[in-house]
Structure 1
Amino acid sequence: MTILRTERLALRPLLPDDAEDYATMRFHPEVAKWLPPAPGKQEEGDLVATARATIDRFAASWQERRLAPWGIFLDAKLIGHGGLNYVPEFDAVEVLWALHPEAWGQGYATEVAEAALNYGFGALDLGSIFAITFESNLSSQAVMKRIGLTYRKRVDYKGFTDIVWFDIDRAAYAERTSAAAR
């Protein structure tokens, strides 16, 4: 499992001890409205158990694929999750982020997404990475554009039909990063 540091954040795989803090972030009403429902029961008393199950799925993905969402930590406080995630419905890897509302508007999503792209195209040698969001989630679309992704199409995902797909391939990412370095 890979641990990264950005300018302001620590990105590390979530651990079972993070479940309560993760549930607080993941099931906050302002966060949950932008995410597909997590598998499992989501009744009030089951949120921490559902968070633990998600953390277990992430751990399995780290073992199997060397990628999964990281916990995003600011000064040792969990503020969200983000990174890379294999999506079997598309047989592809997505870059994703979800932050507690108190962390919105600070540039953290862009920071995490940039680190995830660098890891995916560098350490994992991926050919392309995509991101999806609801058509109405203009904030996430702005992050997608900031990190160099291009709108490609609308897709259906987990019963939702108002999903937009952005992506970037390794060549475009390499061009973007070399242009930024000049």
Structure 2
Amino acid sequence: MPAETRTQNQALAELIELLGAAVVTEGPDLERTAKDSSRYFPTGPPLAVVMASSTAGVSTALAWAHRHRLAVSVRGAGTGLAGGAVGYANGLVISLERCNTIRDIDPVNRLAVVEAGVITADLDRAVREHGLFFPPDPASVEISTVGGNIATNAGGLRCIAHGVTRDAVAALEVVLADGTVLDTGARTRKNVAGLDLTSLFVG
């Protein structure tokens, strides 16, 4: 067995020990999550896909990839047309489609706390029950995710009147490339203290 293959197998065994059944190394999910809706394709299959369901899972996966110096692609629904979610050969794909919970809706402060894999239209329908709406409405609104909207600063027809995704995001929970978890912004509409890291990460 070549030394590179042996090293990859050892690294994969470590990842599986850390995240268990969330790690996919073969089958349709491996192929499906390695590409998005663009015309671009990966040059080869990824080493594995992590079907993350929590911030802790994403952090663990990124820390593992950082230790082993592997390229990482993060994806939601894969509706993007720019190739932003195309995987890397022998890299790691982190899918956020299982991070799909609307954690809280605060109609008084007009805020919602959601996970990255929540479908855009589902969030809009949920907040409409409280007399609110979620402004970004890209053409893929029924299948795209909030995380994807944030990654691309998505707009839609309503952006002329209500702004793009950046204008609708008050705070973020961000996982950096080494697995460090960072909180930006605050659950207030007016928050002018310090650097605007939230806007830095949107788009």
TM-score of the superposed pair, with normalisation by structure 1: 0.29
- Higher strand proportion (structure 1 or 2): 1
Bigger radius of gyration, 1 or 2?
2
- Higher helix proportion (structure 1 or 2): 1
